[in-house]
Amino acid sequence: MSIEFLEVTPKIPSPKCSIINDIQSVIEGNDEFQNVTLLVGPRDSREEIKANKMMLMARSPVFAVMFQSEMVEKATSTVEITDISTNEFKILLKFIYTDDKPDLNDLKTIEDVIIDADKYQIIRLKNLCENQLLTNYLSIENAGHLLAFADQYDLKFKNYVIERF
């Protein structure tokens, strides 16, 4: 008795992967998963933003240290962030949740988000913004400024700026 195996190519379609959207909707839509309070912005105009501690820890080594060591943030589940605007932090938080490349429309915002990404060691966001800076904003008029900025925040494109100009 012999057994024959048929070669079959699967024809059953699979839905597109939706894990990022699923995680985001669960975290944003359920207060139970928003287990940390972020007090963002200057003290006179700060905004309270709820977030998910696990997502912050998974995406930022700085947040991981905050919540894993014996720092006040671990005990209170509250983080004061006074040196970032609310708008910038929402860009950072959206990236933390979705990994989507931010659509930033001006040089100042891109520079600010690079500074924030550097502070929280979110390297992928920093690199994405750096590429956007290089692609859309580098010119002869601002090459000196961007070179100094690149040097200050250890951006990889500083060598490109030196070679090009």
For the domain that residue 58 is a member of, what is the CATH number? 3.30.710.10
Q: Do 66 and 111 belong together in one domain?
A: no
Exposed, middle or buried by CB within 10 Å (0-12, 13-18, 19+), for 7? exposed
Q: Do 44 and 79 belong together in one domain?
A: yes
Which residues constitute the domain of residue 69? Answer: 33-85
Q: Do 81 and 51 belong together in one domain?
A: yes
* Amino acid at residue number 51: A
Considering the entire predicted model, what is its pTM? 0.80
pLDDT tens across 110-163, in order? 999 999 999 999 999 999 999 998 888 888 898 889 889 998 998 987 776 666
**Phi, psi (degrees; rounded to nearest 5) at 50:** -90, 145
Percent of the chain's residues with pLDDT above 70: 89
The alpha carbons of the chain give a radius of gyration, in whole angstroms, of: 21
Could you give the 3-state DSSP secondary structure of residue 131?
helix
What is the per-residue pLDDT for 86? 92
Give mean pLDDT, residues 22-36: 73
- Please report where in the chains the tokens 């912050």 appear, as a residue: 56
* Amino acid at residue number 102: P
